[in-house]
Amino acid sequence: MSRAVTLTILLAGLLVIGSTSPVWAAQMDAKINPNSESSPFKMNYQKTVFIEYPNGGQLFDVLRGQEWTIEGTADSSDPGVQNLIRQLNDKIKADGSQAHISDLNVSYDIHLKARNINTSVDYRVILEGTLTNYVITKDSQKTLVDLGWRGLTANGDVVIDGHEINFPINILLEVEPEAAAFFVGTEAEDVLRKNLINADFILQQPLTNWHFLFDPTGINVDAGTFGLSQEISGFVVSSWTMGESSIREGRQVERVFEAEIVADQPYVVRSVQSSDQGNLYAIGFGALDIFDGVEIAGVTPTPPEDYATTSTGDFPVMIIYGMAAIAAIAGGAFFMFSNRQLKNTKEGQQGIDPSRLQGYQTSASSGGYQTNRGEAQLKDDAGYQQTRSVYDETSEPTEPNPPQPEGAIEEAACGCAASADMGSECDCEMQGACLCDATCGCNAEICKEQANSMS
């Protein structure tokens, strides 16, 4: 019992810790080729800010009817993108990784739409780039790949085409200065100054907590029929994914930050981000390890012999074996209980002994046709009380007859005795018949005659 309580508390603690981590939302998609000097990656950062004015007010008047979109793209030739590359590489180095971003394309989309009770501002920044210098060592059997670069975060301003896209407050100060003035110097400004380009949680979640799966399709003889690219021909593909609620990762929920300000009316500013997600692929079979505090993967062209795993590694295998053992124990207990119950069950004829039954014919002839219908009846009624139908019993208990005076007991033998309470004689003379026997004490003449004739 104490062990069950301990496991329950531990599970609840894991869920609470997983659901309360102070991190930001980002979606990562990267494909690492250990046989190449560079590999592509993609990062998607999204956030929505709601400005709520349920009672109207001056902020509503400022934003009424507003709707606009700011979007654009830029490559590594843009000074703002170069600054972003520098910030990302500084963060990768600070995390202990030797990997390096050599090229980057940035696209951004910011859309504001005002409504009657709130205004929404959608922020989206997409980074598509090239990762280099991720191979630590390589020999004929294994390649060590650096995976500690995952926390792609920019903590400074990112200005592209004259628009600062990393901190939501800045675009409002640029395009909606009157509305942004309501937030400056309040808790709402703190909510709006949380950087959008932030993937710290993807790095903080250990890869051992990610779901692992390898696809051996590439090593098949007919792999070309599956439309696989030449670069993975002859290799398996390892994949690590995160973002699904589980015991390992914790409960993944939207991250909401909210602040209320009071001006002419109370207003609420709330930012909402989806949960972090990550998809990391490596050509070859990857075995995780840690080198100088940085997570790495030892990649081989094919998996070890007799290797088998599930989409979540060894942990689910233990659960599957445990569930199979529990099912086997439960099945054995069920059969043991059933066998014991079967032994305790009476064997042989149940019910009425056939030797006590006799048959008789119930059919009758009609013209020249005679059937052979018959029924079975008991030779005696000794066992009737054991075999009678429960429907023969009355559903309502009968009340005992009240005691009667002695005179009434004698008159009970007379079928037309007078009522003792009323003192009147019977109506035998009026009926012209008598049902009295010799014990009747009725004074009616017809009763006396009947009684004498019977005696």
pLDDT score of 327 = 85
Rounded to an integer, what distance in angstroms lies between the CA atom of residue 311 and that of residue 244? 12
pLDDT score of 275 = 82
CA distances (Å), 132 to each of 38, 235, 416, 450, in order? Answer: 5, 21, 123, 132
pTM: 0.62
Asked if 264 and 14 touch (Cβ cutoff 8 Å), the reply is no
Question: Which residue positions in the chain have pLDDT lower than 70?
Answer: 1-24, 217-235, 244-253, 306-321, 343-351, 360-378, 380-444, 446-455
Domain range annotation of the chain:
23-206+252-283, 410-455
pLDDT score of 32 = 93
Q: What digits encode the pLDDT tens for the residues 243-253?
A: 766 655 556 66
Kindly report the backbone phi and psi dihedral angles of residue 361, in degrees, each rounded to the nearest multiple of 5, phi listed first.
-80, 135
pLDDT score of 337 = 78
According to DSSP, the β-strands at 163-164 and 159-160 are antiparallel
pLDDT score of 14 = 42
Rounded to an integer, what distance in angstroms lies between the CA atom of residue 163 and that of residue 78? 13
pLDDT score of 233 = 52
